[in-house]
């Protein structure tokens, strides 16, 4: 298990230490359950009354709440952000894969960077490029000529279709499908005629995509997911959608084809953005849908 002294943690967070810097922190817990060796956080002053009963070895607080702490404290502007950064430092999540599993298939024409790992029964097709330290979980499929940037991770059973391009440090949760055909058809006297979807999906750096989310490839142009976008589980992103930088999309959201969002848009709680909006739909920054 990872651990860190309170002094070292304060330095990494840019926080002001009050108390014993030699105390060792091994994990994080909520204020009502935290015990010795753990750190907790107070992000809202309305809960400061609970500080007196808190048994954590340290608490992350704002300056205004420091006087209510009886033990060790790290003072910072945003304790909730401190919680997120501390959780990263103490993260014990295992790797998606280690080494190249004997049951994995890696095409001899694929280009693998340093430190690439491919899990059991995964398939890496012809012409694929995997950057340094890419992790491909068990049962994944990476289609022809796809490109995954350095430090990108795919959990189990992710499907990446042909020609998809993904940036660095992306995280794709289990069961996601990226690059499947968009819903494109012409009608010939009542008979549906499929339109081949010849665009692809282009994903920027630091993008996170939730479990069982689907992102369709473009019909002619590409579907674009910009840097820093986070998409929750079970979302549908249709063909030719363009999502601006640092947009957050919560679970079960559906974005119909060709919709565009600006940067730092927040879509939450089963939003459905349909084709009816297309003529007027260019979500501006910031925007919220509840």
Judge if 122 and 221 occupy the same domain. yes
**Catalytic residue (one of 18, 50, 162, 239):** 239
Instruction: Give the whole-number percent of the chain exceeding pLDDT 90.
Output: 88
pLDDT at 275 over 50: no
Residue 277 has a pLDDT of: 46
Of 64, 89, 114, the position where a domain reaches its end is: 89
How many domains does the structure of the chain reveal? 2
Task: Please state, in angstroms and as integers, the Cα–Cα distance from residue 280 to each residue in 184, 249, 260, following that order.
Answer: 21, 20, 10
pLDDT at 155 over 80: yes
pLDDT at 284 over 90: no
Of 63, 89, 115, the position where a domain reaches its end is: 89
Judge if 202 and 234 occupy the same domain. yes
CATH, residue 56: 3.40.1390.10
Judge if 126 and 21 occupy the same domain. no
Judge if 146 and 58 occupy the same domain. no
Residue 251 has a pLDDT of: 92
Residue 263 has a pLDDT of: 83
**3-class DSSP state for residue 68?**
helix
CATH, residue 163: 2.160.10.10
Residue 128 has a pLDDT of: 99
Question: Is residue 239 annotated as a catalytic residue, yes or no?
Answer: yes
Q: Give CA torsion, residues 159, 164, 169, 175, to 10 deg.
A: -20
Instruction: Give the whole-number percent of the chain exceeding pLDDT 70.
Output: 92
pLDDT at 270 over 90: no
Residue 272 has a pLDDT of: 67
Of 89, 120, 149, the position where a domain reaches its end is: 89
Return the higher-pLDDT residue of 3 and 2. 3
Judge if 9 and 126 occupy the same domain. no
Residue 273 placed within a domain: yes
Residue 262 has a pLDDT of: 81
Judge if 110 and 74 occupy the same domain. no
Distance in Å from the first CA to the final CA of the chain: 39
Residue 32 placed within a domain: yes
Judge if 144 and 254 occupy the same domain. yes
Judge if 85 and 128 occupy the same domain. no
Residue 264 has a pLDDT of: 80
pLDDT tens track for 26-72 = 999 999 999 999 999 999 999 998 999 999 999 999 999 999 999 99
pLDDT at 281 over 60: no
Judge if 34 and 64 occupy the same domain. yes
Judge if 116 and 232 occupy the same domain. yes
**3-class DSSP state for residue 124?**
strand
Tokens at 173, concatenated? 């949760």
pLDDT band for 289, please (50, 70, 90 cuts). very low
Judge if 79 and 111 occupy the same domain. no
Q: What is the largest CA-CA distance in the chain?
A: 78
User: Residue 64's domain spans which residues?
Assistant: 4-89
pLDDT band for 288, please (50, 70, 90 cuts). very low
pLDDT tens track for 211-223 = 999 999 999 999 9
This prediction's pTM: 0.91
Element (H, E) at 11: helix 6-13
Residue 283 has a pLDDT of: 53
Judge if 123 and 68 occupy the same domain. no
Which distant-in-sequence residues (6+ apart) come within 8 Å of 8 by Cβ?
none
Tokens at 75, concatenated? 């003072």
What is the rounded radius of gyration, in angstroms, for the C-alpha atoms of the chain?
A: 23
Mean pLDDT in the chain? Answer: 93
Residue 248 has a pLDDT of: 94
């Amino acid at each position: 298990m990872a651990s860190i002294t309170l002094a070292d943690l304060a330095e990494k967070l840019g926080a002001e230490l009050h108390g014993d810097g030699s105390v060792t922190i091994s994990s994080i817990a909520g204020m009502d359950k935290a015990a010795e060796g753990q750190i907790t956080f107070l992000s809202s002053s309305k809960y400061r009354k609970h500080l007196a009963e808190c048994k954590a070895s340290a608490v992350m607080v704002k300056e205004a709440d420091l006087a209510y702490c009886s033990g060790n404290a790290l003072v910072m502007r945003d304790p909730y952000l401190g919680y997120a950064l501390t959780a990263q430092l103490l993260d014990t999540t295992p790797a998606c894969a280690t080494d190249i599993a004997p049951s994995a298939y890696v095409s001899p024409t694929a280009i693998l960077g340093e430190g690439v790992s491919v899990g059991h029964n995964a398939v890496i097709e012809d012409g694929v490029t995997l950057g340094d330290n890419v992790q491909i979980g068990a049962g994944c499929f990476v289609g022809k000529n796809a490109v995954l940037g350095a430090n990108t991770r795919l959990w189990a059973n992710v499907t990446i279709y042909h020609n998809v391009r993904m940036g660095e440090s992306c995280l794709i949760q289990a069961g996601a499908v990226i690059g499947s055909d968009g819903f494109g058809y012409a009608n010939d006297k009542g008979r549906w005629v499929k339109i081949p979807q010849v665009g692809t999906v282009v994903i920027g750096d630091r993008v996170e995509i939730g479990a069982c989310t689907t992102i369709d490839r473009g019909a002619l142009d590409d579907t674009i997911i910009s840097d820093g976008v986070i998409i929750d589980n079970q979302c549908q992103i249709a063909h030719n959608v363009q999502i601006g930088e640092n947009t957050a999309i919560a679970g079960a959201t559906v974005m119909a084809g060709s919709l565009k969002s600006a940067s730092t848009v927040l879509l939450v709680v089963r939003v459905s953005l349909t084709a009816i909006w297309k003529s007027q739909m260019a979500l501006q920054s910031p925007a919220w849908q509840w």
